[in-house]
Amino acid sequence: MVDLYVLSTEFLKRNPTKILDIWDNYNQHPAGILFRYTTPSGDSQKCAYSADLCGDICEVASNEKPAYSKDITNFIRDDCRIPTLINNGKPRINMNNLYVFSEWQRIMDFTWDRLPENWIRHNKLNIGLLYS
C-alpha cells in the first residue's frame, strides 16, 4: 500500500515553492493531505466542545482556532515543532518540518479512525500528481 504522507512529503520537498499554495488550498491537491483540518473528517467542522470551527494544525498551534477535541488541541499547542502563523496569516512551513504534519495527521487518523485514501477519493484528487 502506498503511504500518502510519505508521497506528499517527497512531492513537497521536490516542489518547495508549492508548499504554501497547497497549505492554503489543501483540498485541491493530494499533497494537501498533510494540511487537513484537525477534525474526524479532515475538513472544516465545529469542534466537539465549543461552537468554534476547528482549524488546521498551524491554526491550532497559533491559538487561532481549536482542534475537534480538547486533548488534541492541547497536545498540538504543546508541540513547539509546529510552525505557527506569522503576520501574513501563513505559517513558515519548510522542508525540514514537513514530517511534523505527517506525524500529526497519522495521530488524528488513529484517534478518529480516518483513512487517508477516503479523503483523497472524497475530494476526487489524482494521486498521480504526487509523482511529478
Domain that includes residue 25, residue range: 4-127
Does residue 132 lie in a domain region? Answer: no
Q: Is the pLDDT of residue 2 over 90?
A: no
Predicted pLDDT at 25: 95
Per the model's pLDDT, the better-predicted residue between 107 and 87 turns out to be 107
* Total domain count, the chain: 1
Count CB atoms within 10 A of the CB of residue 95. 12
Q: What is the mean pLDDT of residues 84-92?
A: 90
Count CB atoms within 10 A of the CB of residue 128. 8
pTM: 0.93
Which amino acid type is present at position 76?
A: I
Does residue 19 lie in a domain region? Answer: yes
Does residue 80 lie in a domain region? Answer: yes
Nearest CA-CA partner of 82 in 65, 111, 102: 102
Does residue 39 lie in a domain region? Answer: yes
Q: What is the mean pLDDT of residues 40-58?
A: 95
- Cell numbers describing residue 121: 477519493
Distance CA 78, CA 80 (A): 6
Q: pLDDT digits over 3-23, tens only?
A: 899 999 999 999 999 999 999
Residue 27 CB partners (closer than 8 Å, separation 6+): 43, 123, 125
